[in-house]
Structure 1
């Protein structure tokens, strides 16, 4: 064997088989200990020692809103909280402020905009009714796009459909955030 081959001998392992077995066993043991500290479970699954998120969600009273897009968000939230069933007696109150804005996405040669996007923004706060404690305060946005044509009714219907899609999207996001906040019991 030449002196240049001594530093790199790929055919011979660096340690004995027993040493590699012990190292592998220790690595597996360390991974097992780390994984034992992790728990993954469905957020809506009721557990005896913790909150029942589905019951908590159905006990959320959603305040009335005054505009059509806000009503879409509200209806989607109520359906998401109760699954279409009867709500539980209210223990939480959800207040929200809903805004909707359209934006042009591009221009044609004749300066018309064939594509638009609708952004529905909801600033909301979940409060425990009995104590007044704020559980979650946040802002979520939902965006949907639509195309315009030279027909007024088609444009109006496309805009309403996009607003409804954005309202559904933001309501889904809010429901997930509220479920996570209720499951962990953390206030923000």
Structure 2
């Protein structure tokens, strides 16, 4: 079946408009591909196995020592980062330490006239400092955010489980964002 077969019975103007749209979409894809690959010096794969300062990406991440974070959600973020940096394997000799402090909040949404909330949004703000252990200098610092919503119902158990699920989703989101930031930071530092 060709492009024209799918447009049988259509008027000439509609068929022409369909082909023009298809060709312009294809053209945009080709231009984007060529523009992205035109300057090889500025393109570095973030997740690939290209060398970053003499070490592969996974080896560079495995040199992180992630300090304990208080609380259940803090432990979830730490576990997520440990797994993402070491891949579940053994960590190498630490060259950097990552200190994280979190602040949690819950905002009620869909508040009814009797004051009960129909839903809530759980938020985490994680402030981090990446410290080079050789000279104790702060290499990078910043904040990462995670949010997850959950519904409130009449069952107390269901509300507790829904909040814990939202906490886990937000912690996972923060862990993934921090890993991406760490990859970018460590790829530019020696």
Alignment-derived partner of residue 61 in structure 1: 65
Q: For the pair shown, which has the larger CA radius of gyration, 1 or 2?
A: 1
Distance 1:116 1:78, change over 3 A: same
Alignment-derived partner of residue 78 in structure 1: 82
Distance 1:153 1:138, change over 3 A: same
Q: 1:142 aligns with which of 146, 158, 181?
A: 146
For the 8 Å contact 1:70–1:99, the answer to whether it is kept is no
Offset from partner CA, 1:74-124 (integer Å, 9 cap, x none): 110101101111111111101110121111122124331111010011101
Q: Structure 1 CA distance, aligned partners of 2:115 and 2:186?
A: 49
Number of equivalent positions: 155
Within the alignment, does 1:114 sit opposite 2:103 as a pair? no
Within the alignment, does 1:154 sit opposite 2:158 as a pair? yes
Give the structure-2-normalised TM-score: 0.74
For the 8 Å contact 1:144–1:165, the answer to whether it is kept is yes
How much is the aligned-residue C-alpha RMSD, in angstroms?
A: 2.1
CA drift of 1:132 comes to 1.3
Within the alignment, does 1:182 sit opposite 2:189 as a pair? no
Matches within 5 A, 1:30-109: 35=39, 37-47=41-51, 50-109=54-113
Distance 1:111 1:66, change over 3 A: same
Q: Structure 2 CA distance, aligned partners of 1:91 and 1:59?
A: 5
Alignment-derived partner of residue 133 in structure 2: 129
For the 8 Å contact 1:77–1:175, the answer to whether it is kept is yes
Q: Structure 2 CA distance, aligned partners of 1:72 and 1:44?
A: 26
Give the structure-1-normalised TM-score: 0.75
